[in-house]
């Protein structure tokens, strides 16, 4: 290897827990760069028989192994590092904390255009201008004359894109510039939707909002804060006022939201109040749109970035504030591949950037409340709704002895009819999509199962078919039972499709809108549905949990919950917490305008203590009680959880692999003896998509011992692996077992 070459440690997007040494060729334009100019840059490398894009994480003068055998890493000319020092530190931390290969963490943090073996395109567009210098070229240089005449005809200049229409190449333009005939200015294009020339006047804050705003505005450096505000209390107005102040200081802001479905209304709220560029980042955008937002934030042109969990990786030139709205939402947790929590990464990133991070919600997660109780986060609260709005009345409907029509009780149907007749809107919540949850043979009682999963097939009626919501299998409705060959079947239970059909027949003169994953396929269909609701005419809105996430429907005066018991009866130890959050958030969708709202909850367990908290709109007390129970049971957030899943074609292979893993960890980490180890045990849904799954779970209350376990995991996984078995590590899992 040439003595002038540098050795770089490169993280490649592969499921391997190490970096690999490459050499930079002596003729490479980066060979004389300082170390800080190289770390964080993209390089094209050969890895095995594949060409990959890696990231430089270390620069050395010598390799750890035989330098003569090193392959070459090719830098991209004139590129800056794609990851700043702070962002690199955040991703290095995330790789260790979530026990995920560093190269795959980098890969997840890059937009797709930056994962390709090509120089990154620039956002800057040249505008060409004619100089006073007369043309002195050859008489037959007709194409050059054509270019110069066209530019001269545009007194304010002409964009380079327009010159390409007459086949003016970059080389020709550069030549004409060198000869003094042309000059250019560089500009950054902004979409009209990204920046408004005249923003709307901000709404005045009420005294409670003003007090909270002043407290949050006084935060300096790394300052995590929980803003707990009841639904409709005006948290977003506080956010906007804070963002405005940071923009005045020349800083940028990142606003995280849990769902793509919330992006249109959140974007509209911020964009209507700010004169600076606001961009969106989420998975429904095209590659070019994502890259443009990524670059605009990186170069400092976008002052506000609004996005879902992947937006946490957006680079910023001067990040000054991070806001995580609806911080309790499980959507912030990535459940496959790199299993990170965007909420927790937001806190870590704020620490690296030394800036405030605000976690806002009406229903805080127990993890965040625990941080407040421990004194790690400051706490602010909004107790009253903004404007003239008041909290809705909550009532229970005991359905133990009542006849139900497609899941709807007579008192509920009457309330729906009265609400519609009064000219108002109704939300009907059922957390099951499809026509019915299962199909049963009336002769022998057999329930139709999915052939690939330990789950029942869901009945859909438009068109008629059975659908597994776990493996996406779709099949025809059977003509006879596989067990007794009977031909009569019954659809048991009611999903959103059945409820929509039933309500449409009973209240045929009113509009009905359904919001679930079967009807809302993309932002266009969502916008169409939301526009119909915002028209304000009497209507029924039927949907799943999509309904509860931050929507602002001012003409909704009744929320009907059809099967509340299903929200908190589960093997999941978080069931009460999640159920309370869901019901409080649903109740918050009504009574947001001048009209009084009402919530009717159908239940077979009206005496359950959870309903007392819901009726009093006191989620905080419910959460504190749950924290106490978790401490007594030694469960998160008092202990930290690491979940390791093994997948294979037979269940015994998964159990054997996890037993070997447990033994390997016990041999290498003495602290494992102090931990609570559960398993190996089969998953509650053992077979999914034809694959059997089992779990090994480790709970520990000692951060340093837990870190030792995570550091030892890669080597232990290597020892425990066997043919046909795959492992998946989930640190701080949300979906457990």
User: Which of 524-538, 691-705, 710-724 has the least mean pLDDT?
Assistant: 524-538
* 149: in domain: yes
Q: Which of 115, 134, 153 is the last residue of a domain?
A: 115
Same domain, 378 and 397: no
**CATH number, residue 150:** 1.10.10.10
- How many residues does the structure list for the chain? 737
Which pLDDT band holds residue 348 (cuts at 50, 70, 90)? Answer: very high
Q: For the residues 503-514, what does the mean pLDDT come to?
A: 94
Cβ-based neighbour number of residue 136 at 10 Å: 8
Tell me if the bond preceding 680 is cis, omega within 30° of 0. Answer: yes
* Structure confidence at residue 2 (pLDDT): 47
* Structure confidence at residue 257 (pLDDT): 93
**CATH number, residue 712:** 3.30.70.600
Asked if residues 728 and 637 have their Cβ atoms less than 8 Å apart, the reply is no
* 467: in domain: no
Evaluate if residue 1 carries a pLDDT over 60: no
Same domain, 534 and 428: yes
Cβ-based neighbour number of residue 99 at 10 Å: 21
Q: For the residues 188-204, what does the mean pLDDT come to?
A: 60
**Number of domains within the chain:** 5
* 534: in domain: yes
Evaluate if residue 129 carries a pLDDT over 90: yes
What burial letters (b/e) apply to 110-121, b meaning 16+ CB within 10 Å?
bbebbbeeeebe
* Structure confidence at residue 213 (pLDDT): 95
Upper half-sphere CA count for residue 393 (Cβ side, 13 Å): 5
Evaluate if residue 14 carries a pLDDT over 90: yes
* 201: in domain: no
Same domain, 275 and 327: yes
For residue 358, the enclosing domain spans 207-382
Closest CA to 427 of 546, 307, 593: 546
* Structure confidence at residue 387 (pLDDT): 74
CA dihedral 624, 628, 631, 636 (to 10 degrees): -30
DSSP-derived 3-state class of residue 337:
coil
- Three-state SS string over 209-247 comes to HHHHHHHHHCCCCCEEEEEEECCCCCHHHHHHHHHHHHH
How far are the Cα atoms of 6, 18, 95, 111 from residue 108, in angstroms, in the given order? 27, 17, 11, 8
Same domain, 148 and 217: no
* Calpha distance 386→209 (Å, rounded): 9
* Calpha distance 549→569 (Å, rounded): 21
Which residues have a Cβ under 8 Å from the Cβ of 604 and sit 6 or more positions away?
Answer: 398, 399, 400, 565
Q: Which of 585, 603, 627 is the last residue of a domain?
A: 627
Closest CA to 21 of 52, 67, 83, 53: 67
Q: Which of 115, 146, 179 is the last residue of a domain?
A: 115
Same domain, 412 and 558: yes
Same domain, 621 and 559: yes
* 288: in domain: yes
Q: What does pLDDT average to over the chain?
A: 89
Q: Residue 633, class by beta-carbon neighbours within 10 Å (0-12 exposed, 13-18 middle, 19+ buried)?
A: exposed
Evaluate if residue 3 carries a pLDDT over 50: no
* Residue 140: both structure tokens together: 């037959």
* Calpha distance 587→569 (Å, rounded): 20
* Residue 722: both structure tokens together: 């066997």
Evaluate if residue 55 carries a pLDDT over 70: yes
Q: For the residues 454-473, what does the mean pLDDT come to?
A: 93
* Structure confidence at residue 518 (pLDDT): 87
* Calpha distance 720→737 (Å, rounded): 21
Same domain, 184 and 217: no
Q: Using the 8-state DSSP alphabet, how is residue 538 labeled?
A: S
CA-based end-to-end distance of the chain: 52
* Residue 332: both structure tokens together: 């912030």
How far are the Cα atoms of 135, 147, 154, 173, 601 from residue 176, in angstroms, in the given order? 10, 9, 17, 5, 75
Residues 81-128: tens digit of each pLDDT: 999 999 999 999 999 999 999 999 999 999 999 999 888 887 777 889
**CATH number, residue 102:** 3.40.1440.60
* Residue 375: both structure tokens together: 């004194």
Evaluate if residue 232 carries a pLDDT over 60: yes
* Calpha distance 533→232 (Å, rounded): 18
Same domain, 108 and 29: yes
Q: For the residues 350-365, what does the mean pLDDT come to?
A: 96
For tokens 């492992």, the residue is: 727
Asked if residues 645 and 732 have their Cβ atoms less than 8 Å apart, the reply is no
Residues 555-597: tens digit of each pLDDT: 899 999 998 998 888 888 999 999 999 999 999 888 877 788 9
Same domain, 526 and 570: yes
Closest CA to 205 of 248, 239, 254: 239
Same domain, 69 and 211: no
Helix or strand (DSSP H, E) at 588: none
* Structure confidence at residue 687 (pLDDT): 95
Asked if residues 416 and 621 have their Cβ atoms less than 8 Å apart, the reply is no
Evaluate if residue 162 carries a pLDDT over 70: yes
* 488: in domain: no
Helix or strand (DSSP H, E) at 517: none
Asked if residues 276 and 252 have their Cβ atoms less than 8 Å apart, the reply is no
Which pLDDT band holds residue 533 (cuts at 50, 70, 90)? Answer: confident
Same domain, 368 and 275: yes
* Structure confidence at residue 724 (pLDDT): 92
Instruction: Tell me which range, 145-159, 380-394, 602-616, is most confidently predicted by mean pLDDT.
Output: 602-616
Evaluate if residue 192 carries a pLDDT over 50: no
Cβ-based neighbour number of residue 402 at 10 Å: 13
Which pLDDT band holds residue 29 (cuts at 50, 70, 90)? Answer: low
* Structure confidence at residue 56 (pLDDT): 94
- Three-state SS string over 244-260 comes to HHHHHCCCEEEEECCCH
Cβ-based neighbour number of residue 16 at 10 Å: 15
Evaluate if residue 198 carries a pLDDT over 80: no
* Structure confidence at residue 64 (pLDDT): 61
* 200: in domain: no
**CATH number, residue 500:** 3.40.50.300
- Three-state SS string over 656-698 comes to HHHHHHHHHHHHHCHHHHHCEEEEEEEEEEEEECCEEEEEEEE
* 470: in domain: no
Phi/psi class of residue 14: alpha, beta or left (left: φ > 0; alpha: ψ in -120 to 50)? beta
Asked if residues 539 and 425 have their Cβ atoms less than 8 Å apart, the reply is yes
Same domain, 409 and 510: yes
Tell me if the bond preceding 700 is cis, omega within 30° of 0. Answer: no
DSSP secondary structure of 7-30:
EEEEE-SSS-SS-EEEEE-TTSTT
Q: For the residues 209-227, what does the mean pLDDT come to?
A: 95
| Residue 78 or residue 145, greater confidence | 145
């Amino acid at each position: 290897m040439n003595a002038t070459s540098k050795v770089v440690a490169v993280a490649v997007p592969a499921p391997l827990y190490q970096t690999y040494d490459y050499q930079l060729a002596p003729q490479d334009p980066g060979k004389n760069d300082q170390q800080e100019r190289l770390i964080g840059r993209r390089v094209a490398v050969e890895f095995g028989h594949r060409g990959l894009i890696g990231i430089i994480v270390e620069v050395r003068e010598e390799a750890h192994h035989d330098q003569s055998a090193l392959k070459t890493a090719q830098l991209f000319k004139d590129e800056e590092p794609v990851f700043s020092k702070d962002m690199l530190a955040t991703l290095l931390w995330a790789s260790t904390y979530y026990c995920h290969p560093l190269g795959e963490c980098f890969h997840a943090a890059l937009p797709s255009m930056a994962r390709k073996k090509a120089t990154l395109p620039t956002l800057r567009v040249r505008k060409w201008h004619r100089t006073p210098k007369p043309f002195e070229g050859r008489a037959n240089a007709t194409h050059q004359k054509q270019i110069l005449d066209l530019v001269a005809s545009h007194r304010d200049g002409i964009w380079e894109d327009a010159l390409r229409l007459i086949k003016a190449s970059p080389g020709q333009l550069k030549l004409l510039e060198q000869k003094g005939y042309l000059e250019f200015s560089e500009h950054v294009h902004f979409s009209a939707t990204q920046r408004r020339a005249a923003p709307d006047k901000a709404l005045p804050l009420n005294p409670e909002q003003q007090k909270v705003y002043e407290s949050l505005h006084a935060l300096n450096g790394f300052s995590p804060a929980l803003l707990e505000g009841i639904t409709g209390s005006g948290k977003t107005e506080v956010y906007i006022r804070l963002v405005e102040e940071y923009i005045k200081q020349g800083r940028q802001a990142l606003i995280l939201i849990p769902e793509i479905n919330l992006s249109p209304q959140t974007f509209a709220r911020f964009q209507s109040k700010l004169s600076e560029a606001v961009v969106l980042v989420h998975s429904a955008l095209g590659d070019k749109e994502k890259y443009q937002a990524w670059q605009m934030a990186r170069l400092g042109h976008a002052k506000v970035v609004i996005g879902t969990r992947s937006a946490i990786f957006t680079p910023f030139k001067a990040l000054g504030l991070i806001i995580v709205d609806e911080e309790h939402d499980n959507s912030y947790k990535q459940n496959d591949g790199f299993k990170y929590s965007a909420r927790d990464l937001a806190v870590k990133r704020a620490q690296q950037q030394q800036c405030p991070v605000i976690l806002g919600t009406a229903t805080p997660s127990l993890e965040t409340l625990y941080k407040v109780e421990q004194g790690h986060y400051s706490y602010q609260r909004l107790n009253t709704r903004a404007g003239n709005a008041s909290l809705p009345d909550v009532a229970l409907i005991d359905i133990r002895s009542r006849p139900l029509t497609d899941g709807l009780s007579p008192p509920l149907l009457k309330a729906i009819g009265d609400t519609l007749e009064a000219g108002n809107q109704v939300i009907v919540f059922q957390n099951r999509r499809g026509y019915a949850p299962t199909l049963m043979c009336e002769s022998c009682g057999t329930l139709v199962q999915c052939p690939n999963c330990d789950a029942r097939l869901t009945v859909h009626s438009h068109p008629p078919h059975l659908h597994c919501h776990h493996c996406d299998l779709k099949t025809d409705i059977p003509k006879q039972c596989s067990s007794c060959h009977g031909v009569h079947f019954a659809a048991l239970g009611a999903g959103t499709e059945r409820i929509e059909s039933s309500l449409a027949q009973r209240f045929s003169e009113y509009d009905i809108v359904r919001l679930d994953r079967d009807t809302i396929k993309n932002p266009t269909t969502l916008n169409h549905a939301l526009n119909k609701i915002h028209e304000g005419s009497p209507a029924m809105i039927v949907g799943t949990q999509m309904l509860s996430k931050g929507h602002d429907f001012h003409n909704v005066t009744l929320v009907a919950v059809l099967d509340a018991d299903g929200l908190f009866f589960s093997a999941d130890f978080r069931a009460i917490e999640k159920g309370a959050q869901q019901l409080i958030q649903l109740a918050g969708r009504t009574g947001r305008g001048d009209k009084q709202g009402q919530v009717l909850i159908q239940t077979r367990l009206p005496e359950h203590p959870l309903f007392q908290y819901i009726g009093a709109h006191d989620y905080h007390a419910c959460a504190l009680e749950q924290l106490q129970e978790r401490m007594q049971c030694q469960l998160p957030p008092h202990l930290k959880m690491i979940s390791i899943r093994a997948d294979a074609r037979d269940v015994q292979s998964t159990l054997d692999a996890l037993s070997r893993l447990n033994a390997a960890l016990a041999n290498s980490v003495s602290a494992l003896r102090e931990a609570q180890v559960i398993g190996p045990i089969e998953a509650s849904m053992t077979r999914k998509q034809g694959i059997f799954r089992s779990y090994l779970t480790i709970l520990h209350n000692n951060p340093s011992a837990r870190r030792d376990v995570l550091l030892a995991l890669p080597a232990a996984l290597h020892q425990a692996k066997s043919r046909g078995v795959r492992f998946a590590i989930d640190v701080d899992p949300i979906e457990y077992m």
